[in-house]
Amino acid sequence: MNDLLILAVKIVIVLYSVVIHELSHGLMANSLGDPTAKRMGRLTLNPIRHLDIFGSIILPLLLYIVPPHLVFGYAKPVPYNPLLLRDKKLGPAKVAFAGPISNIVLALLFGLVMRFMPFLIYSSVIQELFVFIIWINLALAIFNLMPIPPLDGHWLLMAFLPDRFNAFKLFLYRYNIILFVAFIMFVLPWLSYLISFLFRVITGI
């Protein structure tokens, strides 16, 4: 029963980590002049407004059941209209970057508590949940910062690549599915080493 309770809490952690990620996109877009997310009722922490049945519930459960028992998921993307952004050049990159930044902030907050206020983590269960919060938020941030469509990182790449690389930009969009699958198969497994390194830097563990 205790294991089921911990699983339920971890699913809630995943859910709110992705909700905060998507909410941050909407808040940034709204601050830059695009009220689309606000008009659609997506500037809220209410998970029901962001819930994706497969990505937010079914996928985390399936991943937890299958070894190595990871818990990961996603929410419905927050819509925004880049044509309404005041900053036409860097606006999309700012909106995209806001999501990973929110996850990095969460990882830092809980990680620094573990590092400098360990007396607050008075049980192994709380420690396990803190570790999970830090890990999942680092994973969300790093994964989404990869410069491959449709991940957030590709907007940063598009914003800063000069026009002479337009052919490369078109290549990324044309073959984004192939590149994304290749990334999942060959690059994603190595990201755990980067996440582990950042985890040790933040927590000192």
What does the longest C-alpha to C-alpha distance in the chain come to?
59
Residue 77 DSSP code: P
Catalytic one among 13, 14, 20, 22? Answer: 22
Average pLDDT of the segment spanning 165-180: 90
Integer CA distances (angstroms), 91 to 31, 32, 113, in order: 10, 7, 33
Rounded (10°) CA dihedral 36, 177, 15, 109 = -90
pLDDT score of 133:
95
- pTM of the predicted model as reported, rounded to 2 decimal places: 0.87
Domain containing 22 equals 2-203
Q: What's the rounded Cα separation, in Å, for the pair 195 and 188?
A: 11
Show Cβ contacts of residue 31 under 8 Å, excluding neighbours closer than 6 positions.
none
Catalytic status, residue 128: no
Q: What's the rounded Cα separation, in Å, for the pair 125 and 121?
A: 9
pLDDT score of 142:
92
- Structural tokens at position 58: 């079914």
Residue 64 has pLDDT above 70, yes or no: no
Average pLDDT of the segment spanning 132-146: 92
Crossing angle (nearest 10°) for helices 2-31 and 124-144: 40
pLDDT score of 84:
93
Residue 21 has pLDDT above 70, yes or no: yes
The tally of domains found in the chain comes to 1
**Between residues 74 and 85, which one has the greater pLDDT?**
85
Average pLDDT of the segment spanning 179-183: 85
